[in-house]
């Protein structure tokens, strides 16, 4: 059986939905027998979920306005040249 | 003065490749649609990497101004989004270098192999930590945890797990190898898990204390 350290080095593969079935089984055999790694897998998945659930914050209006103004100037320069 | 450059109201599905082709042919409206579509993500990348509002604004502006300037040279071998992410990351890293000196931000530095044993906190989480905190509190907790990561790790995590670029796109965006992306991502994910566990673990119950 894999050691915890070996398993954790392959954690990305274990969490990757596209990993091949043999690799998945190989890693699964460790998780099902190791409560510590089971918790690490579970909480790492939850970590990714909470970050994925965050919507990008709205850009402050004044920041947006300055972006459009800067683009305005750039586009006007392009037209003139 | 109100800028004249503003996105037109969206009239249908977003077709990145068609918009890029039109913008390259001189259609400024197509370019503003691209800017409007990606500006929040680019701003977030700037904010996450530099951890500073002013720098994030500069990153936002510089990214789209440079993209506009060099649009003719964009070959379409990668997605437009990956291309502007690369510009944004470069701008953000330059900002960091200016502020902090070079010590944190060489993306080619060898990464420690993690041979040292880190004492891991292994505890189950509350079922729904999102419900225990307000949106603002949750946002602050998540931001602080990301901000604590070293820029090498933070940048990879932001691109892979927040912006959801593939490993290859992240490697391309940062100009580093695929194995480097993988090893940094692993370290970043484990470090964040550790930090969040301290916040979100189920109180009064250390189920694995005796293992």
Tell the burial category of A67 from Cβ atoms under 10 Å away from its Cβ (0-12, 13-18, 19+): buried
Q: What is the pLDDT of residue B210?
A: 44
| Residues of B in Cβ contact (< 8 Å) with A43 | 123-125, 193, 196-197, 200
pLDDT in tens, chain B (211 residues): 556 666 655 556 789 999 999 999 999 999 999 999 999 999 999 998 888 899 999 999 999 999 999 999 998 888 899 899 999 999 998 898 887 654 444 444 443 434 444 456 778 888 777 788 888 888 889 989 998 998 889 999 999 998 888 899 899 888 899 999 999 999 999 999 999 998 888 775 555 544 4
Mean pLDDT of A5-21: 90
Pick from B41, B122, B167, B211 the residue to mutate for testing the A interface (most A CBs within 10 Å).
Answer: B122
Of A39, A50, A70, the CB nearest to B61: A70
Q: At what angle do helices B80-100 and B53-69 cross, to 10 degrees?
A: 140
Asked whether residue B194 is domain-assigned, the answer is yes
A58–B193 C-beta distance less than 8 A: no
Tell me the C-alpha distance between B211 and A35, whole Å: 9
Which of B40, B67, B102 marks a domain boundary? B102
The interface predicted TM-score (ipTM) is 0.85
Task: Report yes or no on B108 lying in a domain.
Answer: no
Overall domain count for chain B? 2
Contact A72 B3 (CB under 8 A): yes
Residue B184 within any structural domain of the chain: yes
Pairwise CB contact (< 8 Å): A52 & B124: no
- Our CA-based measurement puts residue B92 at a distance from the nearest CA of chain A, in whole angstroms, of 16
Residue at B39 is within a domain: yes
The answer, for A70 touching chain B at a CB cutoff of 8 Å, is yes
CATH number at residue B27: 1.10.1740.10
**Cross-chain residue pair B164–A68, CB shorter than 8 Å:** no
- Note whether A21 contacts B: Cβ–Cβ < 8 A: no
Give the pLDDT score at B108: 44
The verdict on B90 and B140 lying in the same domain is no
Same-domain pairing of B160 and B97: no
Rounded to a whole number of angstroms, the CA Rg of chain B reads 20
Of A54, A59, A69, the CB nearest to B43: A59
List pLDDT tens digits, range A22-46.
999 999 999 999 999 999 999 999 9
**Range of the structural domain that residue B43 is part of:** 16-102
Interface touch B138/A50, C-beta < 8 Å: yes
pLDDT of B42: 95
In this structure, the number of other CB atoms found within 10 A of the CB of residue A44 comes to 23
Number of domains forming the structure of chain A: 1
The mean pLDDT value for A17-24 works out to 89
């Amino acid at each position: 059986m894999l050691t915890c350290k070996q398993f954790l080095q392959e954690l990305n593969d274990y969490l990757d939905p596209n990993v091949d079935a043999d690799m998945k089984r190989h890693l699964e055999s460790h998780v099902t027998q190791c409560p510590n790694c089971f918790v690490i897998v579970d909480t790492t998945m939850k970590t990714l979920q909470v970050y994925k659930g965050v919507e990008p914050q709205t850009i402050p209006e004044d920041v947006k306005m300055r972006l459009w103004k800067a683009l305005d100037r750039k586009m006007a320069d392009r037209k003139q040249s | 003065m109100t800028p004249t450059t503003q996105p037109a109201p969206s009239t249908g599905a977003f077709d990145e490749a068609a918009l890029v082709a039109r913008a390259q042919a001189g259609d400024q409206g197509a370019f503003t649609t691209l800017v409007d579509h990606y500006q929040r993500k680019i701003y977030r990348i700037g904010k996450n990497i530099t951890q500073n509002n002013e720098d994030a604004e500069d990153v936002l502006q510089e990214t789209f101004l440079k993209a506009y300037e060099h649009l003719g040279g964009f070959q379409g071998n990668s997605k437009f989004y990956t291309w502007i992410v690369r510009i944004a990351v470069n701008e953000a890293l330059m900002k960091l270098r200016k502020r902090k000196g070079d010590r944190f931000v060489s993306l080619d530095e060898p990464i420690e192999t993690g041979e040292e044993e880190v004492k891991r906190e292994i505890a189950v989480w509350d079922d729904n930590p999102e419900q225990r905190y307000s949106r603002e509190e949750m946002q602050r907790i998540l931001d602080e945890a990301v901000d604590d990561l070293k820029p090498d790790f933070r940048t990879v995590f932001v691109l892979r797990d927040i912006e959801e670029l593939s490993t290859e796109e992240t490697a391309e965006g940062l100009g580093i190898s695929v194995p480097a992306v993988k090893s940094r991502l692993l370290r970043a994910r484990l470090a964040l898990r550790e930090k969040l566990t301290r916040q979100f673990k189920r109180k009064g119950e250390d189920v694995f204390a005796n293992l």
